[in-house]
C-alpha cells in the first residue's frame, strides 16, 4: 500500500529537487519551457510567453496541497536556478506503480544531471512512498531520454508501436523502460 508524502525536497551532489514556486517562472520559461528543442518530444509545446509559464506554475503550486502530487523543480546548485523538472505523470494505486516524466535545459544535456535527478526520485518513490514499479517512456526518435533511463538502472521492456501522436500530428513508436523495487 502506498504511503503518499507529496513532493518533499531531495538533495543530491549537484541538485536540489524541490517544489516549484511561482517565482520560478522566469527560469522555467527561459531555461526550457520556451525552447522548441527541449520541448520537441514533450506532450506540451513551447510556451509562447512567460504568462503561460506563470499559469502553469500556479496550477502546479495549487496541486501541492494533495499528498499524491510529485512534481519537482530541478534546482542546479552551481547555476543557483531552476533548470528542469521531473514528476510522476501517472500513478496506479492498485498495482503500486507509476510513470515518471522529465525535462531539463539543453545547457545541462550530457552531464548526467537528469540521470542524477531520476535516480534520486526513484529512490524516494520506492523507499518513502512504496511504489513497487516505476516506468518511463520516450519517443523512439529521442534516444537521449532512453540513455538517461538506462543509466538510472531502468530496464528496456519493449517498443509500443504507433501508440502516441506528436504535436505535429504524426504517430510515433514509444520505448518503455522500468525498474522494480526488487531491482533497486
Share of the chain above pLDDT 90, in %: 89
Question: What's the gap between Cα 131 and its chain centre?
Answer: 16
Domain annotation covers residue 14: yes
pLDDT value at residue 41: 85
- 22-48 pLDDT per residue, tens: 999 999 999 999 999 998 888 888 999
Domain annotation covers residue 70: yes
Q: Report the mean per-residue pLDDT for the chain.
A: 95
Q: What is the residue range of 21's domain?
A: 10-132
Domain annotation covers residue 121: yes
Q: State the total domains in the chain.
A: 1
Helix (H) or strand (E) holding 148: helix 143-151
Which segments within 20-143 are labelled E, that is strand? 71-76, 81-92, 97-104, 133-139
Domain annotation covers residue 142: no
Confidence class for position 10, pLDDT limits 50, 70, 90:
very high
For residues 162-182, average pLDDT: 90
- 67-78 pLDDT per residue, tens: 999 999 999 999
Domain annotation covers residue 184: no
Q: Supply angle C-alpha 135, 141, 145, rounded to 5.
A: 40
Domain annotation covers residue 146: no
Domain annotation covers residue 26: yes
Q: Sign (positive/negative) of CA torsion 180, 91, 76, 33?
A: positive
What's 53's domain CATH number? 3.40.630.30
Confidence class for position 183, pLDDT limits 50, 70, 90:
low
Domain annotation covers residue 61: yes
Amino acid at each position: 500500500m502506498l504511503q503518499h508524502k507529496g513532493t518533499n525536497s531531495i538533495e543530491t551532489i549537484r541538485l536540489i529537487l524541490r517544489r516549484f514556486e511561482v517565482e520560478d517562472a522566469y527560469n522555467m520559461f527561459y531555461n526550457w519551457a520556451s525552447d522548441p528543442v527541449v520541448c520537441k518530444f514533450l506532450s506540451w509545446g513551447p510556451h509562447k510567453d512567460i504568462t503561460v509559464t506563470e499559469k502553469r506554475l500556479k496550477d502546479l503550486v495549487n496541486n501541492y496541497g494533495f499528498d499524491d502530487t510529485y512534481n519537482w523543480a530541478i534546482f542546479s546548485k552551481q547555476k543557483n536556478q531552476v533548470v528542469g523538472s521531473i514528476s510522476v505523470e501517472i500513478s496506479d494505486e492498485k498495482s503500486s506503480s507509476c510513470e515518471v516524466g522529465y525535462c531539463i535545459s539543453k545547457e545541462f544535456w550530457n552531464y548526467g544531471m537528469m540521470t542524477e535527478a531520476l535516480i534520486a526520485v526513484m529512490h524516494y518513490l520506492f523507499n518513502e512512498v512504496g511504489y513497487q514499479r516505476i516506468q518511463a517512456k520516450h519517443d523512439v526518435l529521442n534516444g537521449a531520454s532512453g540513455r538517461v533511463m538506462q543509466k538510472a538502472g531502468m530496464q528496456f521492456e519493449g517498443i509500443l508501436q504507433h501508440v502516441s501522436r506528436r504535436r505535429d500530428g504524426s504517430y510515433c513508436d514509444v520505448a518503455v523502460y522500468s525498474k522494480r523495487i526488487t531491482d533497486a
